[in-house]
Amino acid sequence: MTADSSKNERYNARAAEARWQQTWDERGIFATKNDDPRPKYYVLEMFPYPSGRIHMGHVRNYTMGDVVARFKRAMGNAVLHPMGWDAFGMPAENAAIDRKVHPKAWTYDNIASMKAQLKSMGLSLDWAREIATCDPAYYRHQQKMFLDFLRAGLVERKQSKVNWDPVDHTVLANEQVIDGRGWRSGAVVEQRELTQWFFKISNYSEDLLTALDTLDRWPEKVRLMQKNWIGRSEGLALRFMLDPATTPNKESELEIFTTRPDTLFGAKFMALSPDHPLAQAAAAKNPKLAQFIEQCHQMGTSQAAIDTAEKMGFDTGIKALHPFDASWKLPVYVANFILMEYGTGAIFGCPAHDQRDLDFVNKYGLGNTPVVCPDGQDPATFVITTTAYDGDGRMINSRFLDGMSIDEAKEEVAKRLERETRGNRPVAQRQVNYRLRDWGISRQRYWGCPIPIIHCDKCGVVPVPEKDLPVTLPEDVSFDKPGNPLDRHPTWKNVTCPNCHGPARRETDTMDTFVDSSWYFARFTDPWITTAPTDLKCVNEWLPVDQYIGGIEHAILHLLYSRFFTRAMHKTGHIGMDEPFAGLFTQGMVVHETYRSKSGDWVEPANVKIDGLGDARRATLAATGEAVEIGGIEKMSKSKKNTI
């Protein structure tokens, strides 16, 4: 072989791969037939948001799924390996504002660009099943399921405290608030009270919890994260007497929920949520308390925001009586770390054995009394200073409980207080609580799935008739002002009531985009059906997904919501199972440094020039030389623009 012939036979990747990819497309090599008799295998990677360019996280994720798909085909399986686009969301609206383009045009241009990039990778995808969640052909079925869920009692409209993102001008679910900030904008969230639509995920708290034990092909870390988020706790609902002489309107009792009734003799204070009725009644007569409550509302409503904030309280002057000693009076505070949505919105504080309570009493000089002594410690010398003790041990300083184990003390307290009655009701009752709150899906933005509801002054809330679905978004909208363009649209929101035929208004909130991604895996099984969200035969044969692949950052948001949605689809007849993903692989995250301009905007790495090393390292905008702040190394994310 001559040198020239060897050179001519060198593999030309650019030419060969394009040629073979064209052949695969022409022959439909990776198209999957629903009537294929071979054993079925469904492999799916979490579908991408069409930001315009794929990054290394995409490459890694989709390569892993492709390896599994090709292996299973080689083993003789009929493999379903589809692709689509999680296409609604705030970035499209932000692009509309920044670039003066319509969100739809920006989104579909990005889809075309990213599809070409993904195709160039030679992935073995069934592109015939491609879906985009912003396509009315997709979201009409989502609207249909919303109406089905509403009829089934799984949707509720109610007023509630919400997390408000002042930059994106929209509500965020608790799960979308990270360290007190919006998950996309990074802005410090505020509390507002709005009327919202909720999916009643809390109806499935126990089922979502216990079924985690059946998901043996899920990472233990993800299952633990979901268990902690659902947060099952067993305890006592306990009614404390109040001194009526100290209450604003002669209130006589305060109900609390506690998981640690064994520590009652270590109680030093009571604490109310700022939104508790007793706190509100006291604030109506105390302007300084009203001002304190207003300050509390400047922080987010999520547990994470509450836990990380400085513990603040206001002594109301109200006194509560200890359930075992009426002469023992406890001060009642309003505190910024108590959530109205958990338990009763009121607690008793035992600072020696709860770090949050200890931080509080150390700030306000209330002291602490240890009531659980670790084995091996001398009760006479055991003290608590800055670190609460939450371990096992024996009861001390607790009168008739002294010497008991924690479990024995819990049982003894429960028995004694359950025997006592007040107003024909027991003083205490055993109760199970969950941390999981209902899923608020209302978003004050344009580029999302319209909620199929009409508001009529005469008839109230009226579902859109199914024959009128889909409710599509108007295209003639303006983004020249903050907030939701649907609210400002001159005609779209004005409709005729389907019941009384009088004037009415459309719901202008759109659905949280996590709704779109909570059932797409089911739609892939037959994306051509027009009469229903799913073909029952196809969806029940293909699901659950055999191997699901995606980032662990979705352990709470996407995965928990999808598990709820599948159950809701089961209840309303759109699917025949509860669990959507049999096997889950979390591939880890590709990370990169972050950069911010003087104005606080995120800056893409491609636009940053780095000079120097170590402590002398400096960053500037390549185009202007303006100084840029170098931030932490975080997962590649569209919102922080730290993608390659």
Task: Give every CB contact of residue 523 below 8 A, 6+ residues apart in sequence.
Answer: 131, 138, 141, 533, 534
Tokens (6 digits) for 443: 């978003």
Number of Cα atoms under 13 Å in the Cβ half of residue 225: 15
Tokens 């960053």 belong to which residue? 619
DSSP 8-class letter at 364: H
Pairing state of beta strands 232-242 and 190-199? Answer: unpaired
Q: Are 82 and 425 in contact (CB under 8 A)?
A: no
pLDDT band at 96 (very low <50, low <70, confident <90, very high): confident
The neighbour count for residue 462, using CB atoms within 10 Å, is 17
Percent with pLDDT over 90 in the chain: 73
Packing angle, helices 136-151 and 557-571, rounded to 10? 70
Q: How far apart are CA 331 and CA 313, in angstroms?
A: 11
Of 248, 256, 320, the C-alpha closest to 289 is 248
Block residue for tokens 């208004």: 505
What is the distance between the alpha carbons of residues 382 and 373, in angstroms, rounded to a whole number? 7
The position carrying tokens 């409550």 is 293
- Averaged pLDDT for residues 395-420: 97
Instruction: Enumerate residues 6+ apart whose C-beta is below 8 A from 451.
Output: 143, 146, 197, 441, 442, 507, 509, 510, 511
DSSP assigned state of 620:
E
Secondary structure percentages of the chain, helix, strand, coil, to 5: 35, 25, 40
Q: Could you tell me the two tokens for 333?
A: 């505070």
pLDDT tens for residues 541-558?
Answer: 999 999 999 988 888 889
**CA atoms of 165 and 65, how far apart (whole Å):** 35
pLDDT at 56 over 90: no
pTM (2 d.p.): 0.84
Distance, CA of 357 to CA of 402 (rounded, Å) = 22
pLDDT digits (tens, 9 = 90+) for 180-227: 788 778 888 888 888 999 999 999 999 999 999 999 999 999 999 999
| Residue 348: its H or E element | strand 346-349
pLDDT confidence of residue 257: 95
Note the pLDDT of residue 1.
45
Q: How does the average pLDDT of the chain come out, rounded?
A: 92
pLDDT of 306 reads: 67
What would the mean pLDDT of 601-607 be, rounded to a whole number? 90
Least confident range from 181-185, 379-383, 605-609: namely: 181-185
DSSP string, 66-124: HHHHHHHHHTT-EEE-EEEE---SHHHHHHHHHH---HHHHHHHHHHHHHHHHHHTT--
Tokens of 62: 């989709």
pLDDT exceeds cutoff 80 at 639: no
Q: Convert the pLDDT of each residue in 2-41 to its tens digit.
A: 545 455 678 888 889 889 988 998 898 999 999 999 999 9
Q: What is the mean pLDDT of residues 464-476?
A: 97
Contact 69, 77 (CB under 8 A): no
- Among all chains, which residue has been given the structure tokens 């184990």? 405
The mean per-residue pLDDT over the stretch 331-352 comes to: 94
Task: Please calculate the CA angle 105-108-113 and round it to the nearest 5 degrees.
Answer: 120
With contact defined as beta carbons under 8 Å apart, do 260 and 409 qualify?
no
273 near 345, Cβ under 8 Å?
yes
Phi first, then psi, for residue 486 (nearest 5°) are -65, -30
